Chain A
């Protein structure tokens, strides 16, 4: 592997040195850390990371290469990847490619040799911030300046960059499934029998949500984020799914305003940004967490059953629990680490949502029961 010196500069002036394992390049974005010990391929391809550079806290990354099945969207979404120790020779029966090849082909910069623990501690203390990485400009001061000047995620609509341009149908296959844009397929979908027709609003949807909806007996039509409510209802779905997605929820006003037109019309299930959209549609507010929740070990308590789920999470913003006070909805889940809101439900209007990721990928499957719940809700 050709290693090229690289510098990571943070907007607050902190600088780290490492080297690139993907050749020369430059990138910038919000620097966040993820504490999962497995699942880097899923992280890289998760559209919710748009605009962000991810630092993995587990030191060895690249171990099992890249395979065909573990994609969460059709391509890499992170702006850059920061590691302590890149592992160049993958070992796994499913591996088709080394991580560096995958990143290089997509033109995404990966750097290694960083004291990622120090970086994590820094972000924990100072909060998430913008960073700039370069193998070209190695002057720390100039890089810090560039990091300062780069836009932050706040008030930016990133959903429009990741949502599908056209509706498509999710067709399960041996590799998990594929997207079918053919209008005939959509025609077929509207005539589906024996399976629930779900319209999934694509704010940056992860494939595993589609795989799981399909596995639970749903036929899924994926719609662009800006699809107006009457158009959505025009497809006459049995239920509506609101997906995860990147960026500041408050910035995508058109999404949650549209959503108001759907509330009470059909059973609705939301995940992550979908959950935040519900919160905003209900006139609640969101706020930015200091450094977010990104990992596969976050404990969430189901307030209905008292049981704890270990959940997969990836969010930097959160619905403010207090902003929903007085509303006629139930808070269903709470994060045990910091007591932030993790789930809400409205039985009357038939919707529920969670902030975390029951589709996991990567992460534990403890919360997959929520997909069944959605199916049940459509059955009624």
Chain B
């Protein structure tokens, strides 16, 4: 039956900012959905607050609202747009929850909007743990025993019945936030109270623990004729107890017999029918008792998910695209399989390779939180690798992680190899027993130390199937190592007849050239050239959904070492784009956005675009984004292999963030043509000394600075420049281990901390510019002329990492003259560095003096934001520039001058990391961003806050507590709030300053001053907004409990006075205006 013609206009809700548990995968699925619904002739209306997404590009939906995803705003959009249907299943948990709220508020009924994909009933049945259990009972599926609690008292009562340990799981939350394992009464109280709070309906479920059972997922699709297919099975290497998002997983399932697999498949089909998802995809999780085969159902997500994105990439079956088509009435047998063309989507993909997904964590950024994994997800990204065997895929996956590792072990980068203290048996045991981000490497260490597979199985619960492969790799490692002395040097080895065979065997197990080089004491390049001379080369195979049963037309490749190479090369002009690898803090979706734009621009120019990336969540790894896709690690070895096969015109390294940028020099040395800004220019911007020379030449200034290798040197340098100083390691990303140091006493500690983060590299020490305004500038240059894409004025002062501070475009407090100076400075640097492509500069303005903080001759995190704010697609312009089209050729003369104000705000993962301070500093901690756009700053800022989930108060009590330096500003903030009728509450010193200025204020105790104190007030719901700054380490620790409480109780808070003032402005704007909504297309039209 064909698609529905009774609906014409469809509203899609996106998933908002990137947070832990909800990342780019929803841009991937949303983009697919928008594209396919538009292709079908529907008018697509989109709401998503995340500017870094491809889906919010003006061409993807007919009308795009970059507005907060709140029920109120979505209701307004519905009223304005009058869509026929709402598709809630593509925007993750956010999309689903918002749709539920809008439906329950009666908005859909009022405006005659039909929910398609999943109805309200279905969503509730799947998401409400109690309803779900009942449903499972009806179809005789076992679920873990459990009880539902709505209060702590309920919890204790249920605990009596079920016995510890207990799994605490809140209803309607995502990525397991607010959940955990309670081993005793105290744990239970702590975890459950948080969970109750985070649950949208104040409900948690306590569950019998089945920690250690095998965990599986099935991706299921169903159409309205009740045809059901299983797209993919996924097996978690980490058993139950570790969130699937934090587990290393494998596709397809490895340890199930057909009988067990089919039983699971039958259950999945029964479940999707019972829950009633009648068009679209669902993810269903199961656990299996390894001793008895008993199977239980864990949960179902009635929507596309992180796992469905993974399943799509793992099989080539585009779940989100099909979900969208099924939602408008197609059936599976009416939709062609893009990859084989001759067959339809109504089949089950079968694969002839092994896929391994490995999560990427960033515990190092959150000191104070322990590195262990539980039922609540903590990873910020993931990488996927494809190999013909598990061993090969695992090692490829580990070198895709971007943690400077090149395999399971033996790459010379493993601290466990070099530090015997770390591999004491007891330490190994404890690191194996409790899952953690390093467990995979401890597994290698344990096997090397002679632990038996049985013991490791007992400690970890990891299935012996996987342990066998780990063990085999360790044994292979020993064999390979033993060849070292036999082979001697590359010269002597070349004479041996067994060399080629041994190399090939090692490559087939996924060993990298770096591992081999390390184990044999050679250089990576020596391995490579020997390999080449012996013809031991990678071949490329297709991901084709059907294990080669049918011919495939989609060029989606992975490498392996086998006989047949399936690459169909062309003679067309082609360019390789290197992607950014797994998401992590500091390098995320923004860079993928740029890569995707590069690909689109190339295709528009008639040049074949070839994407290389290893991140399964992204749009860049969608098989139809580029002309060819290589799902491969971004290492020199893997990339060079592809370049040698494809022989492109050149390679684009400046869009994928630091990952490809780091490859620029090695690739150039290997003779690869790097398009755009030369590696030498990149080096001039990154190398401290060369950079200083350039600034001097241009008459620009930097904050006074110096470098040090030791604490003593650092003390000397700091004394020379004067405190406060910024201390940071070199060669790191996202402000890693960067600290502001106010006095000599605390210097040594911070220097050591920085040294740990980047061993063997100098420590950089800068004069800290206090109370300076920070600016971000994005420009694009063709080598002759540069244009400024946008100048962003940060809300927070310098000292808060640019990725973490809010910013406004255009700047709201700078003089026209200063803006001119900034533009001139940026252009002068672009010219001097001979930038061809994108460039980002961070400036600080203090006392009307302009300082250059850093220059990045590459795409920056703000490129998508600027493009959305101005309508100028910077990354595309830059791509064309890199391929020789000057700005003149492109007809780009005017710099954009938008009449509206755009505000970017960062979103933080603090709620995932218990005990971590929420204060902002020079080390970046945010995972994502939102955008607010409106006619004036106050409204745009208010929208940005709403979009992060912050509910700005319109009345009530404002709490202010600041360090001395901020007292003057505190008065200003207090007055601004008081004028609006808010009541001001402050700690003693701050209160005094405010009172002296004649503003009415109530004094409250600090936590250590006795009760009732400020935390009591927060808990009692008496405080509606918090502005708190603190100085140095001492007060920071004193005020942590207050900030954590605010976080838990969801009280909006800011940790800078600039932020407080902006909030006051936003509250004012909210009180004076009704929020209105407008599409990005309308905003761009006006300009």
- List residues of A whose CB falls within 8 A of some B CB: 16, 33, 35-39, 41-42, 57-60, 63-64, 67, 69-70, 84-85, 87, 89, 91-94, 115-118, 120-121, 124, 295-299, 301, 306-308, 310, 336-337, 360-365
Contact with A along B554-568 (1 / 0, CB 8 A): 000000001110100
Q: Does B464 contact A (CB under 8 A)?
A: yes
B350 engages A297 (CB within 8 Å) = yes
A38 & B293 in contact (Cβ 8 Å cutoff) = no
Structural contact, B259 and A337, CB atoms closer than 8 A: no
Measured between beta carbons, the chain B residues less than 8 angstroms from A70 are 257-259
Q: How far is the CB of A88 from chain B (nearest CB, A)?
A: 8
CA distance in complex: A39, B342 (Å) = 27
Q: A89 contacts B464, CB within 8 Å?
A: yes
Q: 8 closest Cβ contacts across the A-B interface?
A: A39-B258, A118-B564, A362-B258, A57-B547, A91-B465, A297-B348, A38-B258, A115-B563
Instruction: Please tell me if the beta carbons of B292 and A295 are within 8 angstroms of each other in the complex.
Output: no
Which residues of B from 337 to 355 have beta carbons under 8 Å from A? 342-344, 346-354
B566 contacts across to A, CB distance below 8 A: 121
**Given contacts A64-B257, A117-B562, A295-B350, could you give 18 more A-B pairs where the C-beta distance is less than 8 Å?**
A35-B352, A39-B257, A57-B547, A59-B352, A59-B388, A60-B254, A69-B259, A70-B259, A117-B388, A299-B344, A301-B333, A308-B225, A310-B348, A361-B258, A361-B259, A362-B262, A363-B258, A365-B265
Contact assessment for B227 and A307 in the assembled complex, using a CB-CB cutoff below 8 Å: yes
Q: Is B255 in contact with chain A by the CB < 8 A criterion?
A: yes
CB proximity of A92 to chain B, nearest CB, Å: 6
B332 partner residues in chain A, CB cutoff 8 A: 308
Contact mask B148-189 → A, CB, 8 Å, 1/0? 000000000000000000000000000000000000000000
A322-B227 Cα distance, complex, nearest whole Å: 28
Tell me which of A57, A67, A360 has the highest count of chain B C-beta atoms within 10 A of its own C-beta: A57
Complex formed: what's the CA distance from A88 to B247 in Å? 25
- Counting CB contacts under 8 A, is B291 at the interface? yes
Give the contacts of B347-393 with A (CB-CB under 8 A): 347-354, 388-390
A-B contact pairs, 15 of them (CB 8 A): A36-B350, A91-B463, A91-B464, A297-B546, A299-B344, A299-B347, A301-B333, A307-B226, A308-B332, A308-B346, A336-B346, A336-B347, A337-B347, A363-B262, A364-B348
Q: Roughly how many angstroms separate A301 CA and B4 CA in the complex, as a whole number?
A: 22
Contact A116–B352 (Cβ < 8 Å): yes
Given known pairs A63-B465, A92-B255, A117-B541, the reply for A296 and B350 (CB within 8 Å) is yes
Q: How far is the CA of A69 from the CA of B265 in the complex (A)?
A: 19
Query: Residues of A contacting B547 with CB < 8 Å?
Result: 35, 57-58, 117, 120, 295
Rounded to whole angstroms, the CA-CA distance of A41 and B468 in the bound complex is 21
With a cutoff of 8 Å between Cβ atoms, the chain A residues found around residue B254 in the complex are 60, 63
Interfacial chain A residues near B346, Cβ < 8 Å? 299, 308, 336
Q: Interface code B276-319, partner A: CB below 8 Å = 1, 0 otherwise?
A: 00000000000000111100000000000000000000000000
Fill in one digit per residue for B206-233: 1 if any A CB lies within 8 Å of its CB, else 0.
0000000000000000000111011000
Q: In the complex, what residues of B have CB within 8 A of residue A360's CB? A: 262
B472 to chain A, nearest CB (A): 9
- Contact present for B350 and A93 (CB under 8 Å): no
Interface hits, B490-509 → A, CB 8 Å: none
- B343/A36 in contact, CB under 8 A: no
Knowing A299-B344, A308-B332, A364-B265, say if A120 contacts B549 (CB, 8 Å): yes
Most buried by B among A93, A296, A360: A93
Q: Which of B253, B256, B464, B564 is in CB contact (< 8 Å) with A121?
A: B564
Residue of A nearest to B546 (CB): A35
State A296–B255 Cα separation when bound (angstroms).
Answer: 17
Instruction: Pick the contact of A93: B266, B290, B344, B541 (CB < 8 A).
Output: B290
A-chain residues with CB within 8 Å of residue B227 when the two chains form the complex: 307-308
* Given known A-B contacts A37-B252, A70-B258, A70-B259, A121 and B548 have beta carbons under 8 A apart: yes
Contacts A59-B354, A64-B257 given; indicate if A87 touches B564 (C-beta within 8 A): no
- CB of B703 to closest CB in A, whole Å: 57
Contacts of B291 in A (CB 8 A): 93
Q: Is the CB of A308 within 8 A of B333?
A: yes
Once the chains bind, are A118 and B252 in contact (CB under 8 Å)? Answer: no
Task: Tell whether, in the assembled complex, residue A63 and residue B548 are in contact, meaning their CB atoms are under 8 Å apart.
Answer: no
B266 near A365: Cβ-Cβ < 8 Å: yes
Is there contact, CB below 8 Å, between B351 and A58?
Answer: yes
A296 and B257 form a contact (CB under 8 A): no
Contact of B548 among A60, A124, A307, A310 (CB under 8 A): A124
Instruction: Answer yes or no: B553 CB below 8 A from chain A CBs.
Output: no
Is the C-beta of B550 less than 8 angstroms from some C-beta in chain A?
yes
How close is B399's CB to chain A, nearest CB, in angstroms? 20
Residue B261 interfacial (CB < 8 Å): yes
A70–B566 Cα gap in the complex (Å)? 36
Measured in the bound complex, the distance between the Cα atoms of B465 and A310 in whole Å is: 29
| CA gap between A91 and B230 in the complex, in Å | 24
**B391 CB to nearest A CB, Å:** 9
Least Cβ–Cβ distance between B779 and chain A, in angstroms: 48
Task: Determine the chain B residues whose CB is within 8 A of the CB of A296 once the complex forms.
Answer: 258, 348, 350
Which residues of chain A have C-beta atoms less than 8 A from B343's C-beta?
299, 336-337
State A58–B549 Cα separation when bound (angstroms).
Answer: 12
Q: Which residues of B lie under 8 Å from residue A124 when comparing CB positions? A: 548-551
Closest Cβ–Cβ distance, residue A71 to chain B (whole Å): 11
User: Could you say which residues of chain B place their CB within 8 Å of the CB of A94?
Assistant: 257, 293
Cross-chain contact of B352 among A41, A58, A87, A91 (Cβ < 8 A)? A58
Question: Cβ of A87 and Cβ of B465 under 8 Å apart?
Answer: yes
Contact A35 B549 (CB under 8 A): yes
> Closest A-chain residue to B289, C-beta based?
A93
Complex CA gap A64/B465 in Å reads 8
Q: Cβ of A295: which chain B residues have Cβ within 8 Å of it?
A: 350, 547, 549
Q: Which of B227-261 contact A (CB under 8 A)?
A: 227, 229-230, 252-259, 261
CB of A117 within 8 A of CB of B548, answer: yes
Q: Is the CB of A57 within 8 A of B258?
A: no
CA distance A38 to B389 in the complex (A): 16
Q: Is there contact, CB below 8 Å, between A89 and B549? A: no
CA distance A124 to B256 in the complex (A): 28
User: In whole Å, how far is B555's beta carbon from the nearest beta carbon of chain A?
Assistant: 15
Task: Kindly report which residue of chain B lies nearest to residue A42, judged by CB atoms.
Answer: B258
B869 to chain A, nearest CB (A): 47
- Which residue of A has the minimal Cβ distance to B294? A93
B450 to chain A, nearest CB (A): 18
Known: A121-B564, A297-B350, A336-B333. A64 touches B256 (CB 8 A): yes
A85 and B389 form a contact (CB under 8 A): yes
Nearest CB of chain A from residue B767's CB, rounded to whole Å: 59
Contact of A58 with B350 in the complex, beta carbons under 8 Å:
yes
For B225, the chain A residues whose CB sits under 8 A away are 306-308
Closest A residue to B457 by beta carbon equals A91
A16 nearest CB neighbor, chain B only: B563
CA separation between A63 and B253, bound complex, in Å?
Answer: 10
CA distance A124 to B352 in the complex (A): 15
CB pair A364 B548 closer than 8 Å: no
Are the C-beta atoms of B292 and A117 separated by less than 8 Å? no
> How distant is the Cα of A69 from the Cα of B262 in the complex, in angstroms?
15
The answer to whether residues A310 and B564 also contact, given A120-B548, A301-B333 and a CB cut-off of 8 A, is no
Contacts of A93 in B (CB 8 A): 290-293
Chain B contacts of A337 at CB under 8 A?
Answer: 342-343, 347, 550
Question: Which residue of A has the minimal Cβ distance to B255?
Answer: A91
User: How many whole Å from B389's CB to the nearest CB in chain A?
Assistant: 5
Cβ-defined contact, A92 with B347, below 8 A = no
Give, as a whole number of angstroms, the nearest-CB distance from A15 to chain B: 10
Give the distance to chain A from B742, nearest Cβ to Cβ, in Å: 57
- Report how far A35 CA is from B342 CA in the complex, Å: 18
Contacts of A84 in B (CB 8 A): 352, 388-389
Q: Closest chain A residue to B466 by CB distance?
A: A91
Report the bound CA distance from A164 to B896 in whole Å: 84
Chain B residue at smallest Cβ distance from A337: B343
Is there contact, CB below 8 Å, between B353 and A59?
A: yes
Min Cβ gap B619→A in Å is 28
* Neighbouring B residues of A301 by C-beta, 8 Å: 333
Q: Residues of B contacting A41 with CB < 8 Å?
A: 257-258
